[in-house]
Amino acid sequence: MQPIVDGGPTAPRPLPAAPLTAWHHEDVPTTLAALTTTSDGLSDTVAAERRAQCGLNELHEQQTRRPLLMLLEQFTNVMVLILLAAALLSLFLDKQLEAGAIFAIVGLFALLGFFQEYRAERAIAALKRLSVPHVRAYRNGQLGELSARDLVPGDVILLEAGNLVPADLRIIESVNLRIQEAALTGESLPISKQSEALAQQAVPLAERRNMGYLGTTVSYGRGRAVVVATGMQTELGKIATMLQQVSHAPTPLQQRLDRVGKQLAVAGIVVALLILGLGLVMGESLGAMLLTAISVAVAVIPEGLPAVVTFTLALGGQRMLRRQALIRKLPAVETLGSVTIICSDKTGTLTENRMTVTRLVTTGTMVAQPNGLADHEQGLLLAAGVLCNDAELQPTSDSGAYRILGDPTEGALLVAAANAGLLKAELQQALPRVSELPFDSERKRMTTLHARGGAALDQRLAQVWGQTSFMPAAELLALTKGAVDGLLEVTSQVWVHGQAEVLDEAWRAKILAENSALASNGMRVLGIAFRPLPTETATELVERELIFLGLVAMIDPPRPEVAAAVATCRTAGIRPLMITGDHPLTASYIARELGITQDSMVVTGAELDQAGNAALPELVAHSNVFARVSPEHKLKIVAALRSQGHVVAMTGDGVNDAPALKQADIGVAMGITGTDVAREASDMVLRDDNFTTIVAAVEEGRVIYDNLRRFVKFAVAGNIGKVAVMLLWPLLISLSGLPSTTMVALLPLQLLWLNLMTDGLLGLSMGFEPAERSVMQRPPHRPSDGIFAGGMAWQTIWVGMVIGLLSLGAGGWYYWQGLSQWQTVMVTSLAFLQVFQALGTRSTSASLWSIGIFSNRVMWGIIVLVVGLQLLAIYTPLSIFLGMQALTLFDLLLCIGLGVLLLGAIEGAKALR
Ligand code: ATP
């Protein structure tokens, strides 16, 4: 092993001054030397120095919105523009005070909008940072994990199928390594990679077979590579147009709310014209009426809407993160709320992914938990399982405890073998691996090719296996493990008591029956086979004419919390489906344990293939369990379900799952066991790989949708109330025959003031509303449903009318009494009415008492603020700006009393419903 390049703090360790650019043309030692590194990577100290020199390994996003720009954007909002027009008009009409106040309020709204958006943006950026892939790299001579952002030139990393290539790399070791470079070169087929230098210097990117480039993905095999360029120095970084762009496209809900906003704006203009006409007819001055009309238009529009939506979605994303669901695409937050089907993998998501070998079944005998090497055939079975294996057992303490690195299925084999005295290191010395055909979920098996370590080691083999005769003159030995059904298709003989027999129908039936018996008890079963190969054989010809050795069965217990989550899905109108590569009987057993299915109906991948496109919808409509499927079947299942109008969440972890994840409404990737490629394709990542987390995220999605509807209901009803006051006041005055000092109920500034407190502040607190108890006891909302679906339109209108009439009644009564504070009473009652309306809007069906009056603390904080602001507006010099007067205690109590009355009406209506 070469020393690590770390000569202490004073030693020179520069990055090459003039970095080589034709890395593909240099051989591995020259490359490593040029980068002042070794095949064991850098030390932390050197890496830190290089990072200081080259910066983090990330692309600068040109699209990131600068805060100043975000603030300026607030002033491009139509509603703000209308307000600014009103302010200019005031100036024109020589009302400096009003103009100044409107400017101040515009500024406040803009600031409020800015802060909400800024927080939202930061929350989204934080979520994005969490999605940065981790890389397996050598530092200080040790293999460890680090964030791809921390890579520097000279780092040596490991690559395996499913990894994103995290920087520009020179390959230094390749085992069937293939990289999919379509994103960079347009070449759709994966390119085989090797480590030898290329003779030519001028070679296009697409043909540099010993390089890997940022932005591409490893589709097969594994390898080792040294980082030659990071961040903006990479080929991808140099192509500005290909930079990752942050998408600011609005989500479907945002679009729908935008439409609602526009409709309200139109309504506002119509109402404003009405008021203008009415005022003029009643003899008001054109100037005053113009200003009033503009203010009314503004009062109708819920200014806070866009900011509240962005903010609520981002806040929801953070809440989901706390429940282990990492949102990668913001629209997912709202789509989750309407999910009707969750398609889940079995292993690791529904089960614990903690495999334990419980049965070894050789062709001759069937013995319980292996204990010592009673039977050489068992030893042979285990040894083959250990050699055809990429996992490692890593000791965690001196007491003999260990941890499995790698695939749990393979780890279970290592543990069982170690318990029987067979250690991987020893076996590997005797039979070193020379090549391999990695596992993939289509073939559902893997094969390794081994050479003989030498005559001395043959003796050890003989001890273990009793004989080495199974590889008589063989140069090479192929070992295969995988799904039994598929394995038998490439097997022609059976190894019985040291002899190969023909695999006839009787044997086949016996093996399959044994396999079914194990699987129907929920066990995962692997078949193991071998083949002596006299000479080197093309890898694609290796997996045929194998000799069957036996079966290994392991249990993987269901996660204890999943059954409850499945039950929650049922009450929430969501159908959970299991889609697994495992045996149908294993799948069916686990699905029944978890309540995913009651019957034993299982559809297999083969049946999906036979069914054809016409019969597919029927199959997916009736079965909850799909077994022996490959990733392309997942794609078929998603497509069929979506064609039936379902909103589908689908989990996946492998490279080949990416298309299905993209096609699903919500692609869900695994945070622990998933590949980078699957994560890149997903909308959401489960940080704990747990099915329960999907259900939790769906619940949060529903809460967010509820809260946004709540805000719309609250804001629109409040605005209806204000418009009613403005429209009905002139009628009331002229019908009552009272002397008409003014036809204008509320001054423009008062309306703006009210909007600031209600839409701006109270509305915000709706985003903090905790889940309603019934949230997972009702069916999902249909994505096609409008915002006001389910009777909400009617509720909004009547609450709005009651608000308007109560305030109008109070103001009218004061006016009739000749009391000058009539207008202040109307403004204050509207403010207090909306405070109580906010409390009543907290739940659609449950009473305020049952959900806990104080359970939304943020709302109470904001209520205190709003009441405080209103008191300031009445009792401080602010009142001069707002045209208000001091109220008596009785006046205040009256305003509060009206609010209580409204709350009573809202709660009464809930009780009636
Ligand atoms: P899911 O998470 O979708 O339930 P799965 O683990 O059931 O996935 P795969 O990992 O594709 O599905 O495994 C399918 C089959 O492939 C298993 O039933 C097993 O027979 C075989 N298999 C799994 N892992 C390995 C492995 N490491 N080596 C060889 N064969 C394997």
Domain shared by 682 and 537, yes or no: no
Nearest CA to ligand 1 atom 20: 483
Q: Which ligand 1 atom lies nearest to the CA of residue 407? A: 27
Domain shared by 716 and 660, yes or no: no
Pocket test for ligand 1, best of 404, 437, 439 (most atoms within 8 A of CB): 439
Nearest CA to ligand 1 atom 18: 582
Give residue 487 CA to ligand 1 midpoint distance, Å.
Answer: 13
Domain shared by 832 and 811, yes or no: yes
Give residue 83 CA to ligand 1 midpoint distance, Å.
Answer: 63
Nearest CA to ligand 1 atom 5: 581
pLDDT over threshold 90, residue 356? yes
Q: Which ligand 1 atom lies nearest to the CA of residue 346? A: 4
**793-852 tens-digit pLDDT:** 899 999 999 999 999 999 999 998 889 999 999 999 999 999 999 999 998 888 888 888
Bridge partners (DSSP) of residue 326 are 685
Instruction: Give the count of domains, the chain.
Output: 5
DSSP secondary structure letters along 469-514: TTSSS-SEEEEEEE-HHHHHHTEEEEEETTEEEE--HHHHHHHHHH
- Assess if residue 695 is contained within a domain: no
**286-315 tens-digit pLDDT:** 877 787 787 777 677 776 777 777 778 888
Domain shared by 679 and 530, yes or no: no
- Assess if residue 68 is contained within a domain: no
Pocket test for ligand 1, best of 526, 673, 675 (most atoms within 8 A of CB): 526
Domain shared by 640 and 733, yes or no: no
Pocket test for ligand 1, best of 444, 554, 604, 656 (most atoms within 8 A of CB): 444
- Assess if residue 600 is contained within a domain: yes
**Pick the residue with more confidence: 897 or 708?**
897
pLDDT of residue 398: 67
* pLDDT confidence bin for 367, thresholds 50/70/90: very low
Domain shared by 650 and 516, yes or no: no
Give residue 409 CA to ligand 1 midpoint distance, Å.
Answer: 8
Q: Which ligand 1 atom lies nearest to the CA of residue 525? A: 20
Residue 780 backbone dihedrals phi, psi, to 5 degrees: -65, 150
136: number of Cβ within 10 Å: 14
* pLDDT confidence bin for 454, thresholds 50/70/90: low
Pocket test for ligand 1, best of 405, 579, 582 (most atoms within 8 A of CB): 582
Kindly report which listed range (489-498, 692-701, 895-904) carries the lowest average pLDDT score. 489-498
Domain shared by 707 and 836, yes or no: yes
Nearest CA to ligand 1 atom 14: 581
Q: Which of 663, 689, 715 delimits the end of a domain? A: 689
Nearest CA to ligand 1 atom 13: 581
Bridge partners (DSSP) of residue 684 are 327, 668
**421-449 tens-digit pLDDT:** 888 888 888 888 888 888 888 899 999 99
**Pick the residue with more confidence: 902 or 291?**
902
Rounded Cα distance, 185 and 188, in Å: 8
Report the amino acid identity of residue 378. Q
Q: Which ligand 1 atom lies nearest to the CA of residue 481? A: 29
Q: Which of 632, 667, 689 delimits the end of a domain? A: 689
Kindly report which listed range (59-68, 78-87, 766-775, 836-845) carries the lowest average pLDDT score. 59-68
Domain shared by 45 and 166, yes or no: yes
Kindly report which listed range (736-740, 771-775, 839-843) carries the lowest average pLDDT score. 736-740
Q: Which ligand 1 atom lies nearest to the CA of residue 586? A: 18
Domain shared by 379 and 491, yes or no: yes
Residues forming the active site: 345
Share above pLDDT 70 across residues of the chain, in percent, rounded to a whole number = 90
- Assess if residue 15 is contained within a domain: no
Are residues 110 and 71 in contact, defined by beta-carbon separation less than 8 angstroms? yes
Query: Residue 443 contacts by C-beta under 8 Å, 6 or more apart in sequence?
Result: 482, 486, 543
Rounded Cα distance, 373 and 380, in Å: 10
Domain shared by 773 and 837, yes or no: yes
Rounded Cα distance, 270 and 278, in Å: 12
Give residue 650 CA to ligand 1 midpoint distance, Å.
Answer: 18
- Assess if residue 621 is contained within a domain: yes
Q: Which of 641, 657, 689 delimits the end of a domain? A: 689
Q: Which domain holds residue 263?
A: 252-323+702-912
Give residue 439 CA to ligand 1 midpoint distance, Å.
Answer: 9
DSSP label at residue 758: I
pLDDT over threshold 60, residue 473? no
Q: Which ligand 1 atom lies nearest to the CA of residue 410? A: 27
Give residue 549 CA to ligand 1 midpoint distance, Å.
Answer: 19
Are residues 284 and 744 in contact, defined by beta-carbon separation less than 8 angstroms? yes
Structure tokens at 105: 């309020």
* pTM, rounded to two decimals: 0.80
- Assess if residue 98 is contained within a domain: yes
Give residue 187 CA to ligand 1 midpoint distance, Å.
Answer: 30
Residues across the chain: 913
- Assess if residue 10 is contained within a domain: no
Give residue 441 CA to ligand 1 midpoint distance, Å.
Answer: 7
Nearest CA to ligand 1 atom 31: 482
Highest mean pLDDT among 398-407, 777-786, 802-811: 802-811
Nearest CA to ligand 1 atom 6: 347
Mean pLDDT of the chain: 85
Nearest CA to ligand 1 atom 17: 582
Q: How far from 565 is each of 317, 384, 646, CA to CA, in Å?
A: 21, 39, 20
Domain shared by 268 and 198, yes or no: no
Domain of 645: which CATH number? Answer: 3.40.50.1000
Q: Which residues line ligand 1 (CB under 6 A)?
A: 345-348, 407, 409-410, 439, 441, 444-446, 481-483, 524, 526, 580-583
Give residue 683 CA to ligand 1 midpoint distance, Å.
Answer: 24
Nearest CA to ligand 1 atom 3: 580
- Assess if residue 506 is contained within a domain: yes
Look at residue 137 and give its three-state secondary structure.
strand
* pLDDT confidence bin for 79, thresholds 50/70/90: low
- State the alpha helices, DSSP H only, in 158-214: 182-185
Domain shared by 730 and 817, yes or no: yes
**231-279 tens-digit pLDDT:** 888 888 776 443 343 344 566 677 777 777 778 778 878 888 888 888 8
